[in-house]
Amino acid sequence: MKQSNAGFTLGRRTLLPVVAAAAFAVAGLSGIVAAKADTVTLTAKLIPEQGAPPTGLGAVVATYDAATLTLSWHITYSGLTGPLVAAHFHGPATPGMDAPPVIPIPPPYLNPLDGSAKLTLDQVSQLLGGLYYVNLHTAAYPNGEIRGQVNVQP
């Protein structure tokens, strides 16, 4: 069985490699799209906790890698009353609610704070669901001087 299309004659033997090549091309493209989807960018704007002076500010840019279940972060801050004594991701909590630390940000507390941690599947679900916040603690404000809810970026 042969078909003619625009001057080309295609039989089953010549059509199969063309279909296979197209399928591999589509699979390759979808693999590239899936690889990009495996990395999620998250951000937070750190602002003063209630009762803390209005001078402290900061920003969090984080990346979650689904292939390795790893969260990596880059945190900058300024205007605090003193050096950091602790820093954490807290959760699960909706904005304005308090929760225990779930991912420690270990010292040294340099500016910027860069680090990473491997997450559990429950932590991934909570993180991507917007239920984590970053809290930076100083000696003057041991419960946290600046804080920001972590959100997935589109």
**Together in a domain, 32 and 108:** no
Q: pLDDT band for position 154 (50/70/90)?
A: confident
Q: Spell out the residues 6+ positions from residue 148 whose beta carbon is closer than 8 angstroms to its own.
A: 44, 45, 46, 47, 58, 59, 60, 133, 134
Q: Which H or E run contains 81?
A: none
**Together in a domain, 55 and 101:** yes
pTM of the model: 0.76
pLDDT for 91 beyond 60 = yes
**Together in a domain, 30 and 87:** no
**Together in a domain, 31 and 43:** no
Over range 63-69, report the average pLDDT: 97
**Together in a domain, 73 and 91:** yes
**Together in a domain, 109 and 143:** yes
**Together in a domain, 19 and 73:** no
Q: pLDDT band for position 37 (50/70/90)?
A: low
| 3-state SS, residue 41 | strand
pLDDT for 2 beyond 50 = no
pLDDT for 125 beyond 50 = yes
**Together in a domain, 47 and 25:** no
Q: pLDDT band for position 12 (50/70/90)?
A: very low
**Together in a domain, 28 and 51:** no
Q: What percent of the chain has pLDDT over 90?
A: 74
**Together in a domain, 51 and 114:** yes
Look up the domain containing 30 and give its range. Answer: 3-37
**Together in a domain, 65 and 16:** no
CA–CA gap between residue 62 and residue 134 (Å, rounded): 11
pLDDT for 113 beyond 60 = yes
Domain count, the chain: 2
pLDDT for 42 beyond 60 = yes
Residue 140 is given by DSSP the state: S
